[in-house]
Amino acid sequence: MKNKKIIIDPITRIEGHLRIEVEVDENNVVQEAWASGQLFRGIEMILKDRDPRDAGLLAGRICGVCTSSHFRGAVTSVEDAYKIAVPKNAEIIRDLMAMALFIQDHVVHFYHLHALDYVDVTSALEADPKRTSKEAHKYHPKPFRNSHSHYEETLKKLDNFIKSGKLGPFSNGYWGHEAYKLSPEQNLIMLSHYLEALKFQTKISKAVAIFGGKTPHPQSIVVGGVTSVADMLNPQRLNDYLFIIKDAQEFIERAYLPDAKLLAIAYRDEIKAGVGRANGNFMSVGGYEFEGERRLFCNGVIYNHDFENIEDFDASKIIEEVDRAWYDGDTAEQEIKYTDLNKDGSLKTVKNDDKYSWIKAPRYNGSTMETGPLARVLISYTKKNPLIMSFVDEFLEATNLELLDLSSSVGRNVARAIESSYICEYIFKLVSRLLQNIKYYDTQTWTKYDFSRVKTEVEGKAFLEVPRGTLAHLIKIKDAKIKNYSVIAPTTWNATPKNFDSKRGAYEEALIGLKIQDLTKPLEVLKVIHSFDPCLACAVHVIEVKGKEFSRYKITPLLM
């Protein structure tokens, strides 16, 4: 029998526009996969010829979710180009904003973007509140909001919601699919936390806004430092921030981490079968000062799950290719060329094995890489980072899993929950360091600079670990104007198309060998892709190394 192709376009519950196409054999097992970024944005083109001081605010608009990551990345790249030393307090304030974003991103991803691939809403309606409360105790001694009455109330809410007929986020689910493994009680626990996480989302955003002025798109990071000096010196503001983090920590400890345990135990067979495992190449640039030389995340590169031989990260080993992305020319001279239309201008419904994505193909030392919380946790743990060891050991022991098991769809969620947990600890450390500086009258938050007279061409780079993985901002400046700008975002790595080398990226590799029970309800595919926390808005970028003008491009509307 001939192989069949199925197309999921768009993948929902992600940021941006992603199309996934898979080819399955007669047993519905995935033989080949194509991940395609469907949105062209071109923020780099907007940045060209601008004042470098504006880079942060403009680059922040790359994404409505990862705003402060790009904001900081852009500003840091300008500071690197002009060798501007940023005061310690400014770095701490930037870190406090970044860490709050990590927690926000991870929790929102787990509950609101991904949980419904594991949680069957309709099954939760059959749960018994008393048994639910007992079940929750298996994963934490003091589960979050675990009273019978709370579960009864949650059931009532759900019932009213369903009766209203306006299902909102619960519409179009593959309810009743046999890939759902949780009991009604386990489903109710997760759904209760799904609703609680909506409140969490609002609160944690305020933590970013305390030092950012607002969120998304904070305003307070400037070349040379931060502007939120009044907030830093106001004990009430610091207290507000800490109060939110303490609340967040309670939710993470008593709901998020236990829920990750619940999933890891219930979906053990999937984990042991390596469902969602990519090629085992992981990359992290590390970062965030903890104490002296010690960093919150270690840098490193792992090939093919070889945990024994970790290499140090080396930025010079990164290249970006475009063979199978919708650009023409070599890396130095690229023209935008959309090739996936039929002659009549309509979108091709079945993929040709040539150009198929707006996402470029970054390679590290010639290999595709997975980046993100899983990469960070595996690298930091294997490099014996004492900050993370106990969190990972405790989790693996409680769930009777091994380190390699984390290289799976469920494992990516586990990595996020573990990361959130130890980031909370790190935040308290950061705040006490800030208070210490202020106590000794070190209140500087900005370094004065003047680069208007620098006429030579300068280059700057910023490599940062951000919630979804490794982010690079690369800038060239001449005569105080941006000459060229380039971004390689975490999703650019994970969702990379194939290249002349035909090597699959992490999304594509993770889908190979996946068994799909029902081709009309490809829940298994969604689960694998969602586990990466895709951000397609971030992933699509254009570079123009020589500073030559881009060709014009025309968007052909798709008339249905």
Q: How far is the CB of 539 from Ni ion (least distance, A)?
A: 8
Closer by beta carbon to Ni ion, 395 or else 507? 507
Residue 540 found at the interface with Ni ion (CB under 5 A)? no
Residues 303-322 that bind Ni ion (CB under 5 A): none
Number of neighbouring beta carbons within 10 Å of residue 69: 29
Q: In angstroms, give the least distance from the CB of 534 to Ni ion.
A: 9
Window contacting Ni ion (CB under 5 A); options: 178-186, 359-367, 393-401, 532-540: 532-540
Stretch that binds Ni ion, among 219-227, 266-274, 302-310, 534-542 (CB under 5 A): 534-542
**DSSP 3-state of 298:** strand
Q: How far is the CB of 466 from Ni ion (least distance, A)?
A: 9
Cβ closest to Ni ion, residue 105 vs residue 117: 105
- The Cα–Cα gap between 496 and 489 comes to 11
Burial class (CB in 10 A: 0-12, 13-18, 19+), 331: middle
Q: Report the residue number, 263 or 489, with the smaller CB distance to Ni ion.
A: 489
Q: How far is the CB of 359 from Ni ion (least distance, A)?
A: 13
- Beta carbon nearer to Ni ion, 73 or 224: 73
- Decide whether 275 or 472 has the Cβ nearer to Ni ion: 472
Entry field: residues in the chain: 560
Smallest separation (angstroms) from Ni ion to the CB of 350: 29
Task: Determine the residue type at 296.
Answer: L
**Cα–Cα distance for residue pair 28/1, rounded to 1 Å:** 11
Residue 241 structure tokens: 């921030």
Give the position of tokens 């743990």: 381
Distance CA 470, CA 506 (A): 14
By C-beta, is 66 or 97 nearer to Ni ion? 66
Structure tokens at 442: 């070190």
Distance of closest approach, residue 52 Cβ to Ni ion, in angstroms: 22
Backbone angles phi, psi at 333, to 5 degrees: -130, 105
535 binds Ni ion (CB under 5 A): yes
Choose which of 318, 495, 538, 540 interacts with Ni ion (CB under 5 A): 538
Q: Which is nearer to Ni ion, 63 or 264 (CB)?
A: 63
Residue 286 CB: number of other CB atoms within 10 A? 21
Q: Examine residue 74 and tell whether it contacts Ni ion (CB under 5 A).
A: no
Pairing of strands 469-478, 481-488: antiparallel
CB 412 to Ni ion: min, Å: 17
* Cβ at position 219, least distance to Ni ion in Å: 18
Q: Are 543 and 486 spatial neighbours (Cβ–Cβ below 8 Å)?
A: yes
Number of residues this chain uses to bind Ni ion (CB under 5 A): 5
CB of 64 to Ni ion, least distance (A): 8
Angle separating helix axes 235-251 and 88-108, nearest 10 degrees: 30
> By three-state DSSP, how is residue 537 classified?
helix
- Distance, CA of 213 to CA of 237 (rounded, Å): 12
For Ni ion, give the closer residue by CB, 66 or 510. 66
Do 466 and 487 meet the contact criterion of CB atoms below 8 Å apart? no
Task: Restricting to residues 51-70, name those near Ni ion by CB under 5 A.
Answer: 63, 65-66
Q: Closest CB to Ni ion among 98 and 155? A: 98
- Complex with Ni ion: residue 158 or 221, whichever CB lies closer: 221
**What secondary structure letter does DSSP report for 346?**
P
Q: Hey, which residues between 356 and 415 contact Ni ion (CB under 5 A)?
A: none
* HSE of 141, CA atoms in CB hemisphere, 13 A: 0
Q: Which stretch binds Ni ion (CB under 5 A): 18-26, 44-52, 215-223, 538-546?
A: 538-546
CB 300 within 8 A of CB 284: yes
Looking up tokens 């909370």 gives 424
Residue 380, SS3 per DSSP: helix
Min CB(468)–Ni ion separation in Å? 7
Chain positions contacting Ni ion, by CB under 5 A: 63, 65-66, 535, 538
